[in-house]
């Protein structure tokens, strides 16, 4: 019988981390304030007390050092899980991630594996100050050798963090911070979907919306509104930004003939751009309208009082739906 419990995304990640620590003594968690405090968002709360200072510990405020240490530990057979406290803090570690972590397995012809997970709270919607509300996923999805994923619900959060830790490849695990306290069911005894498989969350026949992370609830809201207007919207949570499950998206587009891609990130040279280009390549003769991308505007992330204007809402998605349906 399924053991289903209701919990927020933050608690689901915490529960998944606990299982990983129990199952493999080589799993370690470290980062800024992740031990006694449990992290800024309390995602690692209680783990230091349960597993001790040798397994869950704080690091200096030095992101490059955090990732560099994780690389060294991975070389010695450990499975480090590191937290980048806020999305905008990841850039001091960019060199370590893209020129070392992403390449060592290939460079060593598989002699070295890099089972490193980098947890990144990302996106806006929390009224934070500068450098605390970024969407940098495209930088890493563009880099060969890295896996990039993002859960949008509690069940995925619980299972995907465990799958990421079990991977022998480095995984960037982007956590939608404004959804941390969004509750949902977690099937503790269930069989998880493949880490890089997209999920059809709502079936439809007129338009496909492909999205991920913090935008998934917005896309589902837009689909509800559209249904009241007589339009049937299929919503796909891509879940993985590298690799992307294009087969699921293309299958949907072949049915609906129309695609809207929605994300918080700016659309220029983005994950949304790649999806739009690949669908145009693979499903050209099935498209009844151009693929339209909906995202943040191509400006630096604004001050907190303006972020509601920057972040895509259901109205902006529905405007795109109207545009593709007009063809």
Distance CA 203, CA 109 (A): 43
Is there a catalytic annotation at residue 142? no
3-state secondary structure of 201: strand
Could you check whether the bond before residue 243 is cis, i.e. omega within 30 degrees of 0? yes
Indicate the pairing of strand 183-187 with strand 199-202.
unpaired
Distance CA 61, CA 77 (A): 25
Phi, psi for residue 148 in degrees, rounded to 5: -135, 120
Q: Do 249 and 210 form a contact (C-beta atoms < 8 A)? A: yes
Which member of 48, 132, 196, 206 is catalytic? 132
Torsion angle, alpha carbons of 126, 234, 160, 244, to 10:
-100
Phi-psi sector, 56: left (phi>0), alpha (psi -120 to 50), beta: beta
Which active-site residues does the annotation give?
132
């Amino acid at each position: 019988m399924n053991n289903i419990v209701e919990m927020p995304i933050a608690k689901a990640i915490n529960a998944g981390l606990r299982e990983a620590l129990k199952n493999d003594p080589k799993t370690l968690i470290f980062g800024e304030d992740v031990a006694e405090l449990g992290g800024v968002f309390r995602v690692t709360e209680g783990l230091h007390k349960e597993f001790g200072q040798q397994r869950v510990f704080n690091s200096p405020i030095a992101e490059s050092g955090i990732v560099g240490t994780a690389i060294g530990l991975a070389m010695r057979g450990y499975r480090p899980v590191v937290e980048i406290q806020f999305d905008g803090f990841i850039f001091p570690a960019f060199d370590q991630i893209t020129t070392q972590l992403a390449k060592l397995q290939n460079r060593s012809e598989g002699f070295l594996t890099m089972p490193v997970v980098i947890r990144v709270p990302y996106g806006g919607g929390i009224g934070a100050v500068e450098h605390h509300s970024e969407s940098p996923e495209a930088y890493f999805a563009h880099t060969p050798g890295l896996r990039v994923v993002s859960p949008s619900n509690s069940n995925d959060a619980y299972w995907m963090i465990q799958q990421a830790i079990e991977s022998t490849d480095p995984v960037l695990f982007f956590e939608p911070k404004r959804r941390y306290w969004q509750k949902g069911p977690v099937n503790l005894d269930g069989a998880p979907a493949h880490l890089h498989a997209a999920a059809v969350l709502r079936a439809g026949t007129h338009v496909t919306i492909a999205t991920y992370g913090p935008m998934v609830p917005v896309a589902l809201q837009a689909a509800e509104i559209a249904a009241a207007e007589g339009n049937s919207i299929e919503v796909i949570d891509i879940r993985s930004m590298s690799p992307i499950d294009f087969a699921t998206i293309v299958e949907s587009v072949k049915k609906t003939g129309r695609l809207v891609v929605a994300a918080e990130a700016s659309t220029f040279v983005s994950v949304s751009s790649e999806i739009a280009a690949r669908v145009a390549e693979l499903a050209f003769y099935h498209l009844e309208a151009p693929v339209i991308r909906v995202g943040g505007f191509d400006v630096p992330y604004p001050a907190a009082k303006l972020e509601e204007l920057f972040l895509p809402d259901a109205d902006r998605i529905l405007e795109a739906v109207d545009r593709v349906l007009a063809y």
